[in-house]
Structure 1
Amino acid sequence: MSRKKLIPALNRPSSFWVKTNHVIFLSGLVAFLYGCGTSSNDKLPILGQREAVTKVVNGKSVTDTVYQSIPDFKFISQYGDTVTAHTLDHKIYVADFFFTSCPTICPKMKVQLKRVYEKFKGNPDVMLLSHTIDPDHDSVAVLNEFAQNLGVTGRQWLFVTGDRDKIYDLGQTSYMVTAQADSTAPGGVIHSGAFILVDKDKHIRGIYDGTTEAGVDKLMTDMTRLLAESKP
């Protein structure tokens, strides 16, 4: 079965694409995402779609803005237990999509995400969630061995597998990445190197180039900002 590639699920003029082993960011994506969010001097924007919802409160009509959020899901971790959106309740987290036999950008991504893991290791408010896009190969045992080889212990960084279509659907509809077959690419797949920062309300607060130090430095800076923002 051919693997698929993950690329941003936006129209091409405002997307960023990964070609074999490098990421090209186009300014249109940033403009689109930040245009769909809200920001202030001390808060990260909320990215993605939003809609105005009008309701009656104490007899008065009030309009609230409802932002795109990550819905519930159900996958299996490297430890063989069930992981849902509730597993990440009251935490900020970084999501990404990869596969263990990837010969191109995944090794770079995991080196960079390991930096995030080490920086925030032991922080109960932070988690990492890596979704395999090759669940036919990446079984629980394969993911467990992969995590061990990275030096990952405990439950702060979870590697999840599950139904392929549900993983791709979650990527496309919620994390703004999608899947597409490419049998001519190295390893049978070309995919996005994005790291996605999600807040405690399941809103996307940033998308970063996970293949570079600069992109991940920005991610870690924004994680610190988001943690400060979320404190009472």
Structure 2
Amino acid sequence: MELKFFKKSIPTFIFLALFSVVVIPVFYQLLKVDEKLKIYNPADVNPRLVDFSMKHITKDHTIADFELTNQNGEKITNKNYKDKIYVADFFFTRCQTICINMAYNMGELQNLYKKDTEIMFLSHSVTPEIDSVTVLKEYADRKGVIDGKWNITTGAKKHIYELARKSYFAVLDEGNGDENDFIHTEQFVLVDKEKRIRGYYDGTEKEDMEKLKKDILLLKEEYASQ
């Protein structure tokens, strides 16, 4: 009786085995799709971070074209970041508070991905009138910045502040980039190869840096599967 039951069960066992081989990988792939990072548009961000002129945008937001100058006096534009995943932040060289941890954490990321040609970094000075190319060069040398990997930039103040407020949504303060305007933020912003925002992170917190590393991996996997 038991032998007869076992013989009848063999086709069922074979079916279950084949089902597991075929369905489980498919199910795993479906789960991986759900792990894709969010694409941030103005409507998805804290309204206090979004310039009034941008709040109506619900899709297809990208970082605006930019033109800056790096620590070597080289012109840096969005073309330098074409087909790159990058992390952006806003800092100033005389900062003695959050910028210290931010620079350390950005340096750690740079060293972690220094051989990864897909990943780059971009820092914008919020005191460009003070942070000249010479000042930025000295700062970059102190922080171990790798040329071509991490651009420490200066430029027109109105341009940088507009990027912070209308492209990256990185600051809470309102302003127009004039001489009395000043922004200060700990935000690291993850940007994909299409210039879309894919994540925000506190650049002073270790936990957020670990999340950023995981999100960069997810983003790389997303591109690898295309």
TM-score surpassing 0.5?
yes
1:151-230 correspondence to structure 2 within 5 Å = 151-178=144-171, 191-230=184-223
SS in 1 for 2:34: coil
Question: Could you report, residue by residue, the CA deviation over 1:70-123 in whole angstroms, capped at 9, with x for unpaired residues?
Answer: 011100011111111111000000000000000110001111111111111121
1:15-94 correspondence to structure 2 within 5 Å = 40-49=33-42, 66-94=59-87
Task: Quote the Cα distance in structure 2 between the aligned partners of 1:196 and 1:45.
Answer: 13
SS in 1 for 2:121: strand
1:98 to 58, 78, 91: 91
- Shift in Å at residue 228 of structure 1? 1.3
- Shift in Å at residue 189 of structure 1? 6.3
Question: Could you report, residue by residue, the CA deviation over 1:100-157 in whole angstroms, capped at 9, with x for unpaired residues?
Answer: 0001100011111111111111211000000000001101111111111111222100
SS in 2 for 1:177: coil
State whether residues 210 and 216 of structure 1, in contact with CA within 8 Å, keep that contact through their aligned partners in structure 2: yes
Q: What letter is aligned with 2:202?
A: D
SS in 2 for 1:197: strand
State whether residues 105 and 211 of structure 1, in contact with CA within 8 Å, keep that contact through their aligned partners in structure 2: yes
Segments of 4+ in structure 1 off by > 4 A?
Answer: none
TM-score by length of 2: 0.72
Q: What letter is aligned with 1:210?
A: G
Task: Quote the Cα distance in structure 2 between the aligned partners of 1:223 and 1:196.
Answer: 11
- Shift in Å at residue 226 of structure 1? 0.6
1:74-153 correspondence to structure 2 within 5 Å = 74-153=67-146
Give the total of aligned pairs. Answer: 174
- Shift in Å at residue 169 of structure 1? 0.5
State whether residues 49 and 67 of structure 1, in contact with CA within 8 Å, keep that contact through their aligned partners in structure 2: no
CA RMSD of aligned residues (A): 2.0
Task: Quote the Cα distance in structure 1 between the aligned partners of 2:206 and 2:89.
Answer: 16
Q: What letter is aligned with 1:135?
A: P
Q: What letter is aligned with 1:121?
A: K
Residue in structure 1 matched with residue 52 of structure 2 by the alignment: none
SS in 1 for 2:124: strand
TM-score by length of 1: 0.71
More helix by share: 2
Unaligned runs of 5+ in 2: 1-31, 44-57, 176-180
Question: Could you report, residue by residue, the CA deviation over 1:146-182 in whole angstroms, capped at 9, with x for unpaired residues?
Answer: 111111222100001000011001110000024568x
Higher RCO, 1 vs 2 (CA within 8 Å, ≥6 residues apart): 1
State whether residues 175 and 196 of structure 1, in contact with CA within 8 Å, keep that contact through their aligned partners in structure 2: yes
Task: Quote the Cα distance in structure 1 between the aligned partners of 2:33 and 2:118.
Answer: 23
